Amino acid sequence: MPVYDRGYTHWQPSGGAHLPAWLVIARRGIVEPLKRRWLLLLILTGWVPAIAKGGIIYIKLKAGNLADLLGGGWTSIGPDGFLNFLEHQRFFVFVLLAIVGAGLIADDRRDNGLSLYFSRPLSLTDYLGGKAAVIVFFYFMVTLFPSYALCLLAYLVAPGATGLDMLLLMPLRVTAYCLVSGVSIALVLLAFSSLGKRSIFVMVWWAIMVTGTEAIAAIAGGLGSHGLEAVNFLGQYHNLGAVFFSTGPRLQVPVPVSLVMILAWTALAFLVLRRQVRPVEVVS
């Protein structure tokens, strides 16, 4: 509503530096969940595989090839070993993002928060960018950051590990993969969140998208119909990871097909967000 009170004073800039709007939204969305102890415990649990792999890397220093026999290719510090590690983190990605991301837009829609957001000088890009940054951060917490720790540990203790590989090339591979995957997954989850007003329903849709498509792909693969592996949501990101890590495909689906599927999901999610999240005009 317009302000007619003569005593109203227009806002004047203080001249000090201010954080970008998207960063303010992201900071609040990151800090609030981290106040919950059980969520911190979940994140710590997501680091258990990295700790286990780090222990095996150290044992390999003492036991040589015996550690490889015990741990298989998962213990490798090569590109294939790191991609295997990221694949095995999909459960923590699924659970953590469901908890953190399901209500990011749904709660705002339920509480009429969008009108409060957009009554300020805030663009749609800033709003979506801040919400997506929250999801990407927690995605990094169980994928990128543990991988960085493994790279550093491998450089310090693994036989044959070089600084060029462990401190430059491998971190670049992991960063590129996690950045592309994290942004795309964040937009898809935000699209689900924008379609509902209750977090629990968004979590159900997210579970169907992740575990449901994985189950369909597994059943179809077991019956010899490998073409349906293209519906495996998280599997397509792992399959695309073959490009970043220069390894073989992770599925029976060609990598270009995975790229097309990921681009289609991302584009559809963006269109849904443009339709569901609309700035509110304020009369001045």
Model pLDDT, residue 9: 56
Token duo for residue 275: 């339709």
Model pLDDT, residue 111: 87
In angstroms, the CA 108 to CA 278 distance is: 12
Model pLDDT, residue 284: 43
In angstroms, the CA 147 to CA 132 distance is: 21
Token duo for residue 102: 């399901």
| Cβ neighbours of 91 (radius 10 Å) | 15
Mean pLDDT per 10-residue section of the chain, whose length is 284 residues: 53 64 93 94 95 84 58 74 94 96 93 83 91 97 96 86 89 97 97 93 94 89 80 94 92 92 96 85 45
Which sequence spans correspond to the domains of the chain?
Answer: 21-276
Residues 141, 145, 151: CA angle, nearest 5 degrees = 155
In angstroms, the CA 173 to CA 123 distance is: 32
Model pLDDT, residue 281: 47
Model pLDDT, residue 118: 84
| Cβ neighbours of 122 (radius 10 Å) | 17
